Amino acid sequence: MSDVLANSKAADPGDSLAVLEKQRSLAETFGIPLAVLAELTHRCPLQCPYCSNPVELDRAGSELSTEEWKRVLSELAEIGVLQIHFSGGEPTARKDLVELVRHASGVGLYTNLITSAVLLTRDKLSALADAGLCHVQISFQGTETAPADRVAGYKGAQHRKIEAAKWTRELDLPLTVNAVMHRQNLHELPEIIQMAVDLDADRLEVANVQYYGWALKNRAALMPTLAQLEETTRIVEEARERLKGSLAIDYVVPDYYALRPKKCMGGWGRQFFNISPSGKVLPCHAAESITGMQFESVRSNHSITWIWQHSEAFNRYRGTAWMPEPCKSCEFREVDFGGCRCQAFALTGDAGNTDPACALSPMHETIFKQAQREAEGETNRFIYRNFAGGTPETGENGG
Ligand code: SF4
Ligand code: SF4
């Protein structure tokens, strides 16, 4: 509560209390989200150059213990959360994953595993299914083995993913294929759609890279051209029509080329939170890229409900009162909530600015032109994601 008071701009204590009351009632308008992302670890054998994890990764020694995660899972179920998405890093790098899935299932949570799949064996997947796992989402870097392994920075990744996807369906678990798309693999989209069909997936996510964290470091190597994007949209629309009823296709566009920003996370502190490997409760999985913000931890004395409703970080950009112009008087302010705070910070240095993806932002023209320049540039080599702060790609594949 004192954090909220300390950060209000009120002139006297009476005003402070009025601000606090207003923030409270705003926070309490939003019930606890129905689904929560649990990032069990930042460890991962892959090194994707677009990884959404922060550039400063949490080390293994700071991760929540098995007992701490169990306590968190029980608390989430008690406060009304229905689904838990186990993610990372690579969640199967945690030796206690089966135990955590069993616990989550035991307290009544629907469990989804978001995985690169390269550490899975059939026995491990079978044990997870027996423990109550409800759904598997596997990320793919492409369809062709060598280019896909190059993006992953892991030889043999593609082969293992295909195997794990087949085991998933053999075990009768629903499968989502997550395909992260960028300039260097968008030409494979028709094959990726066919791969999802062949793997008997229920859902395909065609997720264009979003540029913060590692992807921002690699933007020049990943940014698609406008022509590629237009073609992608055409292919997705055609496939949606053709595969209606057998494969659902989600499509996330990169917003550098958009006119209006996405409603990021459904609006800051409105519909979503995630828990980082070290237990921080975050309004967005990229929120730690905003330097200078303090995020409360499940290791603190506060309950998760208190953190959601009253912590300074969740209230800072909740609702519309924090907005500067042009958002403040814009008719879309309750439609997109000013776009993405992490992107505003990454591109303008202030998370409180209008997301430059918006055509009304004074920065929009600049970033649009920058995206075009980078998309048409020669930079193809990656900086691979790792605990050392990134390793530049060497060898012949980078072009
Ligand atoms: S995006 Fe790639 S490197 Fe990042 S956690 Fe997922 S599989 Fe690992
Ligand atoms: S000015 Fe702000 S509220 Fe209006 S469309 Fe742009 S980002 Fe959205």
- Would the pTM of this model clear 0.85, i.e. be above it? yes
pLDDT (0 to 100) of residue 18: 45
Percent of the chain with pLDDT over 70: 91
Cα distance between residue 85 and residue 100, in whole Å: 12
**Ligand found nearest the CA of 51:** 1
DSSP characters over 18-30? HHHHHHHHHHHHS
Which residue lies with its CA nearest to atom 3 of ligand 2?
333
The mean per-residue pLDDT over the stretch 160-179 comes to 98
Local confidence band at 54 (pLDDT 50, 70, 90 cut-offs)? confident
pLDDT (0 to 100) of residue 24: 53
Cα distance between residue 129 and residue 119, in whole Å: 16
**Does ligand 1 come within 6 angstroms of the Cβ of 51?**
yes
The mean per-residue pLDDT over the stretch 70-99 comes to 97
**Does ligand 2 come within 6 angstroms of the Cβ of 263?**
no
**Ligand found nearest the CA of 210:** 1
pLDDT (0 to 100) of residue 289: 87
- pLDDT of 142 > 70? The answer is yes
HSE-up (13 A, CA, CB side) for residue 224: 25
pLDDT in tens, 225-269: 989 999 999 999 999 999 999 999 999 887 788 889 989 999 999
Percent of the chain with pLDDT over 90: 81
Assigned token pair, 232? 């992608």
pLDDT (0 to 100) of residue 139: 98
Which letter, b or e, does each residue of 336-349 get, where b requires 16 or more Cβ atoms within 10 Å of its Cβ?
Answer: bbbbbbbbbbbbbe
**Does ligand 1 come within 6 angstroms of the Cβ of 90?**
yes
Local confidence band at 212 (pLDDT 50, 70, 90 cut-offs)? confident
Q: What is the CA radius of gyration of the chain?
A: 21
- pLDDT of 8 > 50? The answer is no
Give the mutation target among 259, 320, 360 for probing the ligand 2 site: most ligand atoms within 8 A of CB.
Answer: 360
pLDDT (0 to 100) of residue 6: 27
pLDDT (0 to 100) of residue 213: 84
Cα distance between residue 296 and residue 269, in whole Å: 14
- pLDDT of 200 > 50? The answer is yes
pLDDT (0 to 100) of residue 368: 85
Cα distance between residue 350 and residue 341, in whole Å: 8
pLDDT (0 to 100) of residue 15: 43
The mean per-residue pLDDT over the stretch 209-236 comes to 93
Q: Calculate the average pLDDT of the chain.
A: 90
Contact (CB, 8 A) for 69 and 109: no
The winner for highest mean pLDDT among 46-55, 110-119, 210-219, 345-354 is 110-119
pLDDT (0 to 100) of residue 27: 53
The mean per-residue pLDDT over the stretch 65-94 comes to 97
**Does ligand 2 come within 6 angstroms of the Cβ of 355?**
yes
- pLDDT of 79 > 60? The answer is yes
**Does ligand 2 come within 6 angstroms of the Cβ of 344?**
no
- pLDDT of 91 > 70? The answer is yes
**Centroid of ligand 1 to alpha carbon of 37 (angstroms):** 15
pLDDT (0 to 100) of residue 13: 34
Query: Which of 4-18, 150-164, 219-233, 361-375 comes out lowest in average pLDDT?
Result: 4-18
Local confidence band at 89 (pLDDT 50, 70, 90 cut-offs)? very high
pLDDT (0 to 100) of residue 28: 57
3-class state of residue 70 by DSSP: helix
pLDDT (0 to 100) of residue 22: 52
- The contacts of residue 395 (CB under 8 Å, 6+ apart) are none
